[in-house]
């Protein structure tokens, strides 16, 4: 909001001008979303407000308000907002991006930290609940697989327990294909890889294998063939819901993200 004041009797041709601005409209810059069990979604977001002049006289700014960034989390239930909270991690420079859901229903993701929002010096792997409360944090790693013991496997191949303590080291994690085969890059080679015991979660693997041939659902595993046999081609809602994780994964893969150091 802007207010103008033109005092009378100033002895000038147009009078002196003073202007006051209250607040700036923030814009949603980045969003990261995964499924939240069978309840809805978990969403990490960043909203940036530009710098502005709060008080100005004759085109000279008296009070400059710097740009600000706000980070938060939200969950949905059906088509409704279930919860919303702001997140303030020390040194936070990016949104808190949820990437896995663990055995107990909490989340593991990554966050960039640095001297200012948008200036990232490293990425940390963070475990947190739906309110944004941090359970533990590990520097310079990010999550790949949530395991049945409540832990997680990082991109580094390090295995962590439910409290974020390192418990072992695997070799380099391969990339899994649509059919579940495992491959390494440069050159591309198919390799043998025993998938660890996954968390009973709808999003136990980064990118989520349910978009491919396997959907991991508490208590059972449903193959793509079984899922197709169970759904009628006339069931529009069923087909759309089954395709949703693949669409979300595609969005996440192509979303802009800062380069890692």
Q: Which residues contact 19 (CB under 8 A, 6 or more apart)?
A: 2, 3, 4, 5, 53, 55, 56, 57
What does each of the 261 residues of the chain score in pLDDT, given as a tens digit? 555 555 555 555 555 788 888 888 888 888 999 999 888 999 999 999 999 999 998 889 999 999 999 999 999 998 899 999 999 999 999 999 999 999 999 999 999 999 999 899 999 999 999 888 999 999 999 899 999 999 999 989 899 999 999 999 987 777 767 666 788 877 888 888 777 788 888 888 887 544 333 333 333 333 333 334 333 444 333 334 344 444 444 444 444 444 444
Among 169, 139, 140, residue whose Cα is nearest residue 157: 169
Res 127: pLDDT: 97
What local confidence, expressed as pLDDT, does residue 90 receive? 93
Amino acid 4: pLDDT:
55
Q: How many CB atoms lie within 10 A of CB 180?
A: 14
CA distance 34 to 232: 26
What does pTM read for this prediction?
Answer: 0.68
Query: What is the reported pLDDT for 202?
Result: 84
Residue 206: the pLDDT is 84
**Distance between CA atoms of residues 72 and 238, nearest Å:** 31
């Amino acid at each position: 909001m802007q207010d103008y004041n033109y005092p009378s009797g100033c002895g000038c041709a147009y009078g002196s001008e003073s202007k006051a601005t209250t607040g700036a409209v923030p814009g949603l810059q980045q969003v990261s979303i995964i499924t939240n069990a069978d309840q809805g979604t978990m969403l990490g977001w960043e909203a940036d407000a530009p710098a502005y002049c709060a008080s100005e006289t004759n085109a000279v700014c008296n009070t400059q308000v710097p740009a600000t960034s706000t980070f938060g989390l939200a969950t949905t239930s059906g088509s409704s907002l279930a919860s919303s909270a702001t997140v303030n991690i020390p040194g936070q420079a990016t949104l808190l991006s949820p990437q896995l859901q663990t055995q107990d229903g909490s989340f593991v993701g990554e966050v960039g930290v640095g001297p200012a929002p948008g200036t990232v010096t490293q990425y940390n792997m963070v475990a947190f609940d739906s309110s944004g409360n941090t359970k533990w944090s590990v520097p310079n790693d990010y999550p790949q697989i949530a395991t049945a013991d409540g832990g997680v496997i990082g991109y580094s191949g390090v295995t962590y327990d439910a409290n974020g303590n390192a418990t072992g080291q695997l070799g380099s994690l391969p990339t899994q294909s649509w059919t579940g085969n495992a491959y390494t890059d440069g050159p591309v080679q198919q390799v043998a890889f025993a998938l660890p015991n996954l968390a009973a979660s709808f999003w136990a693997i980064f990118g989520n294998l349910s978009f491919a041939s396997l959907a991991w659902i508490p208590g059972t595993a449903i193959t793509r063939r079984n899922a197709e046999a169970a759904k009628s081609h006339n069931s529009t809602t069923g087909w759309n819901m089954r395709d949703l994780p693949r669409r979300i994964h595609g969005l996440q893969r192509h979303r802009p993200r800062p380069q890692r150091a």
